[in-house]
Structure 1
Amino acid sequence: MTTSETLYSSNFKIGAYPFYKEQRAQQPVFPVGSENGYTSWIVTKYDHVKELLKSPSFMKDQSNLYPSSDRGNEAEKVNIFGNMMLDVDPPDHTRLRKLVQPSFNPKTIKQLEPRIREISDGLIEDMKKKEGSVNLVDDYAFPLPIIVISELLGVPAEDRDKFRKWSNTILAASSDSETEFVEDVEAFTTYLTDLFEKRREQPEDDLISQLLQTEEDGEQLSTNELYSMVVLLIIAGHETTVNLIANTMFALFEHPEQLKRVTQDHSLIPSAIEEGLRYYSPVDFSTARWSEADIDFHGNRIKRGDLVLASISSANRDEEKFENADQFDITRRRNAHVAFGFGIHFCLGAPLARLEGKIALEKLFDAFPDMDLNRTEPSPEWRQVFLLRGLDALPVRLSD
């Protein structure tokens, strides 16, 4: 049995794709450990992943399956995770998604384009002052989406950097970081409490004010749902886009002939982004699902209450779905990747992430057509965050 320690090991990200390939061939649905009589499973093949992500037999809300005494108390420690939209099933999921959907539909997102371009231009100008070498994560891929989602929500500019630390701690939470996790969650909660109070007293034209008004009108949004929704939008609203931009640029730097093509022909940028999403998927694994009943799933007996995860990265490299799946090809025509998920939990922010990615690459290629990896710096390394695939840093030389 492959153990969970294998997946959490410090070097797993480096060898993940060969590992996934072997699992797809030998044991595409495999167990990674058991606890309290329940088994955890990983699903790796494209078709199996889509089936898992859309099946009502695999539930997101474990409280519908486990007696409270059998469940961990992590969710009860704080009130910002208890009603996360990612972790509930219909009808609650339908209701929560409906509340924020208008702010993320393609027509609404399109209206943000001028501001996204303005933010990108400002970051580009700042990079031009840094004597030719930058960290593309810190100087561009991170600040662009965090500014956009912060402005959409109504978070003051001076507070944005706090979210990076809080987000990193929450996403990397583990037993050996329990103290830091609790402290950062408390800080996050206190910050949101203060911000909500300010918006109650003086509403503005932002999403937090809209959600607060919905709550105060008694229209289905509880206090815990409000906290969970805003935390989800802050974290998911920037983390995946940071990785989309940085991972795609990293793949282009690894394939200089394709970098040259897309730099010279911006019509290739949308397909380059889609290939970046497939090749180095920003989200490595789906969030957890639990089997509603004992079920036979592609040769495996999955019991009621077993935890099941979809390997998004593996599905997007499935050779049965993608021709030359391990090759990075910005001209790939059939690219039905699942980087944003599938089914009712398909990423709400996908239109925003794609628009930010498109503008980010356009602006970079216009400003720095000769940019390349700064090969005098250490090679980029993947962050040790289980659910995500993102780079710690991306050192870039902006010109020859």
Structure 2
Amino acid sequence: MSVENSATRAGSGTTARSNGTALASAAALPPLHCLRHLAPGPPRLGALPTGTPVWLVSRHADVRQVLTDPRLGRAPLFAPDAPPISIAPNLLDDPQSMLNIDGVDHQRLRRTVQRAFTPRAIARWRPWVASVIEGLLDELIDHGSPADIVAAYTRPLPVAVISRLMGLDGLDGKRLAHWSDHALSATAYSAEAIRTAIGEFSAFGAELIAERRAAPGDDLVSGLLAAAAESGDIGEPQLVSLVIGLVVAGHETTMTTLGNALVYLLGDGSEAWQRLASDEQSAAAATEQLLRAVPLGDTAHLPGLLRRTVEDVEIGGVVIPAGSVVAADTDAANQDPDVFTGDLLDELFAPLAGQSYTFGAGPHHCLGAWLARMELELGLHRLARRLPSLRLTGPTDTIEWRRGLLTRSPHTLQVAW
């Protein structure tokens, strides 16, 4: 699942400019967390934690326009005149990374990896993903009740999958968690600690690339290098960025979504647990609804998928000036009452009433969407089938959450059966 986020450059808040005309003073704008509790409506102006003005777009149709309109892009967020939009560095700061390149150059980079993530390619991995799940469940059951389902299942599952996909046998899970937490930090770590961790992670990626050049294998990294050699115009820094970005995106968001889904399913949605166990089709339908309705990001730090306008753009009846930062609030769009009616408990096994934007839309649509779906679908179905009496050991308001990151999920989750 995509971890596209608003963190790009550290800096103090300033007034954004549009064609030389200053926008409203950031000091006069409502903070982001206040806007996020408003009902979907026309684009409205708020302020990022840096103080930079941001247009928050929340309606379903408006969010789609932001994500697909070529007049809004990621690259302009890194232009010389771009205002600061993050209070700390993170992994996705690199202007040369695939996330932050638009147009033809973005498509060129994307083609080097997208064939590994087609639905047909993902379907071939289904048996061994299922075998990984069954192995983890065997260990969980052998451990006995109670247990921390995060440590035993939601974290090691996506790590095992991406490790096999990328040929990273023996990867230290704690080391990877350290790098990922720093790479996706909002306020949890100092800028110096983040830069150190990202530097170590980048060195790991460079070493991995050198190893695969010397001894290619049947893995995603080797395939990526072969495609890069064929195209002949992908630089080494971009390759390193692609590799470590795939490692993070390949496990972090799946772990987050799976943990958050279990909080819901073993709490408010506990009556659905038996149906999840019944068949994979029911689990597939529930996965789509959970992806749509259970937020991935921490609302205090992740306002939406950020873009910047390159010219004046009318969105939802509001003209947004050129040079403006825009946040597509996919969480709000995914629950827009004009598209999605009823609550999640009523709709859990129903087809989606409209497009979900959890994986984004347009040119930056998440490459790993089909892999994430498969892991969640199989992970929930097999867990419910093997442990039909699974339950939380305490109320949800006592759960210990991971804090200060761009994503939000349980740090630990005690369960019993």
Q: TM-score range by the shorter chain?
A: 0.7 to 0.9
Could you tell me which residue of structure 2 aligns to residue 269 of structure 1? 283
Counterpart CA distance in 2 for 1:386 and 1:128 is: 31
Matched, 1:42 2:56: yes
Of the three residues 357, 361, 366, the one matched with 1:342 is 361
Say whether the 8 Å CA contact 1:214–1:221 is kept in structure 2.
Answer: no
Say whether the 8 Å CA contact 1:290–1:308 is kept in structure 2.
Answer: yes
Letter in 2 for 1:43: V
* TM superposition shift of 1:217: 5.0
Letter in 1 for 2:47: V
Say whether the 8 Å CA contact 1:138–1:393 is kept in structure 2.
Answer: yes
What aligned pairs does 1:280-319 form with structure 2 within 5 A after superposition? Answer: 280-283=294-297, 285-319=303-337
Letter in 2 for 1:200: R
* TM superposition shift of 1:261: 2.9
Matched, 1:114 2:133: no
Say whether the 8 Å CA contact 2:179–2:201 is kept in structure 1.
Answer: yes
Q: 1:376 to 1:22 in 2, by over 3 A?
A: closer
Counterpart CA distance in 1 for 2:307 and 2:247 is: 22
* Larger helix fraction of residues: 1
Q: 1:318 to 1:325 in 2, by over 3 A?
A: farther
Q: 1:301 to 1:381 in 2, by over 3 A?
A: farther
Counterpart CA distance in 1 for 2:402 and 2:89 is: 28
Of the three residues 362, 387, 395, the one matched with 2:414 is 395
* TM superposition shift of 1:81: 2.8
Matched, 1:2 2:2: no
SS in 1 for 2:143: coil
Counterpart CA distance in 2 for 1:220 and 1:197 is: 18
Q: 1:162 to 1:63 in 2, by over 3 A?
A: same
Structure 1 unmatched ranges of 5 or more: 8-18
Could you tell me which residue of structure 2 aligns to residue 368 of structure 1? 387
What aligned pairs does 1:158-307 form with structure 2 within 5 A after superposition? Answer: 158-174=171-187, 177-217=190-230, 219-253=232-266, 254-283=268-297, 285-307=303-325
Say whether the 8 Å CA contact 1:39–1:307 is kept in structure 2.
Answer: yes
Could you tell me which residue of structure 2 aligns to residue 24 of structure 1? 40
Q: 1:152 to 1:74 in 2, by over 3 A?
A: farther
RMSD: 3.0
SS in 2 for 1:347: coil
* TM superposition shift of 1:181: 0.2
Could you tell me which residue of structure 1 aligns to residue 152 of structure 2? 139
Overall identity of the aligned pairs, in %: 27
Q: 1:346 to 1:200 in 2, by over 3 A?
A: same
* TM superposition shift of 1:21: 5.2
> TM-score scaled to structure 1, two decimals?
0.86
Q: 1:57 to 1:395 in 2, by over 3 A?
A: same
Could you tell me which residue of structure 2 aligns to residue 353 of structure 1? 372
Counterpart CA distance in 1 for 2:86 and 2:261 is: 38
SS in 1 for 2:103: coil
Q: 1:80 to 1:50 in 2, by over 3 A?
A: closer
Letter in 2 for 1:24: P
Q: 1:34 to 1:251 in 2, by over 3 A?
A: closer
Letter in 2 for 1:22: L
Q: 1:164 to 1:40 in 2, by over 3 A?
A: same
* TM superposition shift of 1:354: 0.9
Counterpart CA distance in 1 for 2:89 and 2:333 is: 33
Counterpart CA distance in 1 for 2:395 and 2:340 is: 35
Counterpart CA distance in 1 for 2:30 and 2:87 is: 25
Of the three residues 92, 96, 99, the one matched with 2:105 is 92
Counterpart CA distance in 2 for 1:392 and 1:366 is: 24
Letter in 1 for 2:360: G
